[in-house]
Each structure stands twice: as C-alpha cells, then as structure tokens.
Structure 1
Amino acid sequence: MTDTFVETYPAETPPYTVGAAASLFSSYVVTSAISASHQIGLLDLLHAEGGTDVATAAGGRLDHGVVRGLLDTLVWAKVVQPDGDRYTVGPGFADVYAARGYFYWLVKGCGELFSIAPDVAVPEQRVGDFYHRDMRAVAIGSRLIGDSEVEPLFDEIVTGLDFAVIADLGCGSGQRLIRIAERDPSVSAVGVDIARGSVELAEKSVADAGLEGRVHIVQGDVLALEPTEIFADVEVVTCVFMGHDFWPMQRCVDGLANLRRAFPNVKRLLLCDVVRTPGPASPETTTIFTIGFELIHALMGVYIPSRREWLEAFEAAGWDLVRERHVAAPPSGILFELVPSAPRSA
C-alpha cells in the first residue's frame, strides 16, 4: 500500500470574522434572544430562581433545543453562565432584565419594519399601510420601559390632583388607568388607542382587573376625537410616548387644540415623550433606545420634535406649561404638565 501525501494549507482567517464586526453580528442575535426569552418567561424564571436547567425552563410546552439555544446565546453576552447542567444568572443579567422592555420593543415590536428598511426608504413605496409593527408588543415594551421612572412620576403628579375622571391617549396595555382606578375607587377612566391590538390587550387587562364598569377603552384617532358623552366629564388627560405621532408642527398644533374641544372640562394635560437628541450618535455617549427610537420613526415617516418645538406647539395650541420633568428612562424623555390657556382678550 502506497502512502498518499496530502499537502494542507492553513486557512487565512479574514479579519472581520472576529473582533468588532463579529461582535455586531453576535449582538444582533443576542438582542433577538433576549426578546424571545422575555416573551416565553425565561427571563422571569431566571430572575425569580437565579438559574434553571433546560428541562425546567422548557416545561411541557417548549422545544428543548430552542431553549438551550437561547440560553447558550445569552452565555455569549454573560447574561447567564453555564454551571454543570444548569444555567445561572451572569454578571450582565441584572441590567438586561431591567432593560428587557427595550429589547422586546425593538425586536418583537419593530423587528419587521427594521427588516424592510431598504424598501420603505423608497419614497414611491411609502404609501398607504407601507409598514407593520406588532402594536401589542410595542405596548408591552413601552409599559416595561416606563415602569422604572415615568410611571412613579405620573403617580406622584396624579395623586396631587383633584379629579373624578381621567383619560389616557394611546393607552396601550391600559395598565396606567388600571393602577389609578385601583388606587382611588372614586375615579373613572377612559383609554383611547388607534391600534386594535392595543385596544384588545387593554380590554383584557381591564376585565382581568375587574374594572369593566369604571375603566372604558375606546378605539380612535387621538388627533381627530369628537366630543362625546364619555369624554364630557374628563378633567385630566394623559399622553405617554405617542405625542410624536401628532407631528409635524401644524398637525400637532391642530391636534393639541382639538383636545380642548374633545374634552371640554379638561383642567390638566400630562404629556410625556422622548425628544430628538442633538448631535451625532457615538458608542461613548449614546444611551439605550435613542438610535432605535429615532431610526424606527424615520422609517415610519414620523417626525421627532425637539423640546423647543414642543414648547412652540403648546403655546400655539392654547396650552400653558406649568412644569416639566426630565427622566432618564427612557433617555431624553420629558414629562410636560400643562393647563388650558386663559382666553385671550380681543
């Protein structure tokens, strides 16, 4: 038997397969895994127990291979770490768990739109319903994002106001109104949202809380609301994370002015939104959410105003600014507290 000599050549590794580009690729996969892990309850399980094995995490309803794949992906980012047959929380878990709403908003809520960015960049294709977002996921993600800072701030302000009926524009999951109604049995509430998915989620949440008689959910365009019996006694109106949908300027002014007509007895408007950030983005200075929020709205054709532009719109629409509170979560968020302007003398 003749020995065959096989000459081998070491493969030259392209520089992009490791390092910065490779990390960007893997980070995208991890981001998707975090969103999925939140939705299937894996993050909550890890948060409660400090660790899990695949069989426990999968239970009787999830594929073991997928669960293991998600956990192994989270290992890459040190969100979890392998410990024999188990996976325990890693050094990055606490931050990721606290920020899970951002990841869910990004991937589940907006992932489809990001994937068609090249298509919607073509003006001729930006007509009609040219994009889709999972508004139920957007509502859930937004609620988690606001829970740490915005909602406690709302509770502080609302507790100090005297009112019997409150309305929430872009009510999403309805949790804000449910919390207010549960805290004060004398208060009634109405939530308004244009997205059917959000309305259905809010209706279910209200029913689960046993508040169907006091919290009403209405599907409608907050920019074109008409005075109705259900709005007649509203004294406080809240609007969280959807004020940018009012823009551009004239549309915003008209929409804000119309709120005074739709809610003839309103005494206070609490509007919280993320404002446009100045300057270029950079890894050293750009906070979580910022570039995702601004890019997704560019893809939708929605203008993000600056703080100064908001102030100009309030004045033009007949609202006086009482206070403004800046929040860090979400980054660049501002809560504006407004009252109807006094009638101007002729």
Structure 2
Amino acid sequence: MASSALSAAYELGLIEALEKQQTVDIATFCQDKDLHQPSLVAIISALCCFDICHIENNQSTVKPGASFAEAYQYKGYFLWLIRGYGYLLQNLASITQNKNRHDDFINRDGRYIALSGRDYGQQFVDSYFEQLLSEVPYQFVADLGCGSGAKLINIVTNNPTVRGIGIDINPGAVTTARIAVDDFHLQDKVKIIEADISQLDRQSNFEEVDTVFSFFNGHDLWPYDKCSKFLTNLHTAFPNIKRFLLCDTYRSDTIPSANVPIFTLGFEFTHGIMGQYIPSLTEWLDLFAESGWQCVEHREIGIPFSTIFDLRPSQD
C-alpha cells in the first residue's frame, strides 16, 4: 500500500510540493489539480503510516514526516516498480503459468519507466556519467535505449557543437523523448529513432558517431551469446566508434537476505519473473574481452550493484 501511495503521490506532484513548500493545504492542492479529495487523503494516510508525512489540522494540511527525505530520494524507484511494472505485479500468478508466457506477457509501461529513470538518473547516475564522459573528447553521441532522452538533451544543451541520436524500442519512451526534444528546440541536433538496439544495421545516421552509451538495458540483451553478438555488431553499426560507456546493474548475489538495498530486490524480482538472466560483474568482464572490447575501467555509481563500464575497441 505504501509503495502504491508513494508512486501516486509522486505522479500527482504532491511529493515535489511537500519538498518545496513543506506544508500543503490539501483542499487547495486538490482544487488546483482537479483531484478527488477523499482519494488524496487516503493516499496521504497510507504514507503517514510509515512516517513519510503527517496530516494535521483535521485533515486539512500535510507536512513531511521523519522518513520523507528518504522517500523523496527514492521516489523514482517506486514509480518505476508500480507504474512501469504494474501489470506484472497485478498478474504474478498468471504470469508464472507457462501457458500465459507468450507475446508481450509482461506489458511494461515504457513511459513510466522512462520518467522514473529520469528521476533516479539525475540523483544517482548523471554526475558519475558526466565526469567519465568528459574525460575523452567527443562530437557525436548515440544513446542506446534512450528512454526519456534526458541525457542526450543535457549533453547537447551543454555542448553546442555536439549532436546526438537516441534509439529506443519502446514507442512510449520514443514519444516521450521526441516531445522533450521538441520542447527544448533541439530537432536539428538530436534525432530519436524507434528501433531494436540488438538488431542495429549500419546507416548514414551512424557514420559520424564517435561515442556510444547505454543505460540499464544491457542485461536485457543476455543470454551470453545474444549479448556477445550485440557487442560485436556495434563495431559494424558504428564504424567510427571510439568509446562505449555501458552502465548497468549486475547480479548482487545477496538475495535472499534481510539486508537487501532498496531497488535491488525490485530489480532482481521483476527480472526473475520475466525470466531475464542478470549477469554478474565477472561475467560482464569476461564477455567484453571476447567481443572486441577492452574495459579500461568500471566505475561504481549511486545505485547498488551498478557500474559504468568504459569500453574501447580492442587493438588487434
């Protein structure tokens, strides 16, 4: 209940309002956003049970509780799980039956996965990525699995001579990214393409790309042979590639445990239900060496058991 309430409070803007204002008048908030007030009070009440907020003055105002700062920090994880994987959570028993595991049986919502990734990416990923990216010059970047397009937009906005391409297989994410590119008036510098990154062909759009990066979808390309083919194909699809920054979460080997970090259980749980194998750090490093890449560094980020692999084409 608390997970659903926190996801809803974030989506409705209540969490941001509490962070900025500290005290929110519930009736005014509902009027401004055309919300059903008893429903919002029910959401707030669930959060109050976990000391995320306090409801006061005969249910007229709400303030942050002792656990609010932690909830605010991790709010993107809850939107990711509840909205992005809501169908999976609601249909666990059905999905576990082999007869129902066909077509798109998970039914992930790419829009919410992209939006939540934007939130926790800004907090736990971007500063590490930006530092690593800046250490080697670049002029044309490609984001494989671009989601909301936030990273591309940030890079191009801060570097006027740089251009970029975003590629994502999910129509919801592509739509979200294209709207964001339009909003920032970057249509002449950033192009968003709907495509499967595991099946990329060489094309004119890719000829000038010197730096490629990808965030939190490398594990979706496993098992081993499939991911090896993807990594090898990058040399062909991007003939002038000089660097590939691959950020991903690797297998923790901590579950089951009473001390699992936040996000880790949700990540390994959902992928276990999907039947998606999560490679260990060692398995990743072994794969790079066999698919034409040298890993010059892997830099840990703010998400547990997650790192950025700095890959360069091997010199034969």
Which residue identity lines up with residue 288 of structure 1 in the other structure? I
TM-score (norm 1): 0.88
TM-score (norm 2): 0.97
Q: What corresponds to 1:21 in structure 2? A: none
Q: Report percent identity of matched pairs.
A: 36
Q: Distance in 1 between matches of 2:104 and 2:55?
A: 45
Q: Distance in 2 between matches of 1:149 and 1:103?
A: 15
Q: Unaligned regions of 5+ residues in structure 2, if any?
A: none
Structural mapping, 1:23-34, within 5 Å: 29-34=1-6
Structure 1 residue 120: deviation in Å? 1.8
Q: Does 1:73 align with 2:22?
A: no
Q: What corresponds to 1:323 in structure 2? A: 297
Structure 1 residue 234: deviation in Å? 0.4
Moved over 6 A (4+): none
Q: What corresponds to 1:170 in structure 2? A: 145
What do the CA deviations read for 1:90-115 (whole angstroms, capped 9, x no partner)? 11111100100001001011121122
Q: What corresponds to 2:36 in structure 1? A: 63
Q: What corresponds to 2:233 in structure 1? A: 258
What do the CA deviations read for 1:50-81 (whole angstroms, capped 9, x no partner)? 01121122124111111111111111111111
Worse-matched range after superposition: 223-232 or 65-74 = 65-74
Structure 1 residue 342: deviation in Å? 1.2
What do the CA deviations read for 1:231-279 (whole angstroms, capped 9, x no partner)? 1110000000111111000000001101111000000000010000114
Q: What corresponds to 2:99 in structure 1? A: 124
Q: Distance in 2 between matches of 1:89 and 1:124?
A: 46
Q: Distance in 1 between matches of 2:55 and 2:92?
A: 37
Question: Any conservation in 2 of the 1:260–1:266 contact (CA below 8 Å)?
Answer: yes
Worse-matched range after superposition: 72-81 or 193-202 = 72-81
What do the CA deviations read for 1:179-203 (whole angstroms, capped 9, x no partner)? 0000100000000000000000000
Which residue identity lines up with residue 295 of structure 1 in the other structure? F
Q: 1:199 aligns with which of 151, 174, 177?
A: 174
Q: 2:260 aligns with which of 258, 282, 286?
A: 286
Structure 1 residue 125: deviation in Å? 2.3
* SS of structure 1 residue aligned to 2:121: helix
* SS of structure 1 residue aligned to 2:231: helix
Q: What corresponds to 1:335 in structure 2? A: 308
Instruction: State which structure, 1 or 2, has the greater radius of gyration over its C-alpha atoms.
Output: 1
Q: What corresponds to 2:242 in structure 1? A: 267
Structural mapping, 1:94-113, within 5 Å: 94-113=69-88
Which residue identity lines up with residue 182 of structure 2 in the other structure? A
Worse-matched range after superposition: 46-55 or 266-275 = 46-55
Q: What corresponds to 1:150 in structure 2? A: 125
Q: Unaligned regions of 5+ residues in structure 1, if any?
A: 1-28
Q: Distance in 1 between matches of 2:204 and 2:7?
A: 41
Structure 1 residue 295: deviation in Å? 1.3
Number of residues of Structure 1 aligned to a counterpart in Structure 2: 313
Question: Any conservation in 1 of the 2:255–2:265 contact (CA below 8 Å)?
Answer: no
Structure 1 residue 41: deviation in Å? 0.5
Q: What corresponds to 1:6 in structure 2? A: none
Q: What corresponds to 2:90 in structure 1? A: 115
Question: Any conservation in 1 of the 2:3–2:78 contact (CA below 8 Å)?
Answer: yes
Structure 1 residue 160: deviation in Å? 2.2
